[in-house]
Amino acid sequence: ASAPTAAAHGGHEGAAAGEGSSADAGTNGDPMPAAVDWGDKEARLRELLSCGVCKDVLHEAVTIAECMHSFCRKCIEGVFTQQGALKRRGHHCPTCNQALPNAFDITHIDESLEKIAAAVFPARYAERAAAARAAAAQNTAEAAAAWAAAAMPH
């Protein structure tokens, strides 16, 4: 099993393994691998493949190069926004407090980690992906409505 090599991605907590298979595509459109029965390694995989902020299975995973902790892209963006609002000097990893000189450089999705998370937690990964798509559609609809309302003569 090559998935335990994901240990470099930091400590995490999350959903259950062996949840069936997934036909969902990854963020680059590649099909996700089928679920694998990880047996007694499930708890460690949960730890490795969950976001350090929301503690759920990683979705749109990003990894901080300075400390190798991984987070959902939306979660870490939220942390960085909050850190900026608090006017802290620079950004820090929320797990280990490592200073991050280029915090906004970590917005690239870690495709390998995404595929591993989808293979180990296919049902939860699919739920998170569907929720993200629904939220994006809702945000798009709200933005369009606001734009249309602003464009209407008063």
Q: What is the pLDDT of residues 49-73, one digit of tens each?
A: 999 999 999 999 999 988 999 999 9
**Mutual orientation of helices 122-151 and 111-120 as an angle, nearest 10°?**
120
Q: How much is the pLDDT for 49? A: 93
Q: Which domains does the chain have, with CATH numbers?
A: 3-151 (3.30.40.10)
Q: Which residue has the higher pLDDT, 153 or 52?
A: 52
DSSP helix/strand/coil, 47: helix
Question: What pLDDT does 93 receive?
Answer: 92
* DSSP secondary structure, 117-141, as one string: HHHHSHHHHHHHHHHHHHHHHHHHH
Q: What is the rounded (10 degree) CA torsion for 9, 111, 122, 3?
A: -50
How much of the chain, in percent, has pLDDT values that exceed 90?
Answer: 25
Task: Indicate the pLDDT class of residue 120, thresholds 50, 70 and 90.
Answer: confident
Please tell me the predicted confidence (pLDDT) of residue 19: 45
At residue 17 the predicted structure's pLDDT band, cuts being 50, 70 and 90, is: very low
pLDDT of residue 47: 87
pLDDT at res. 133: 85
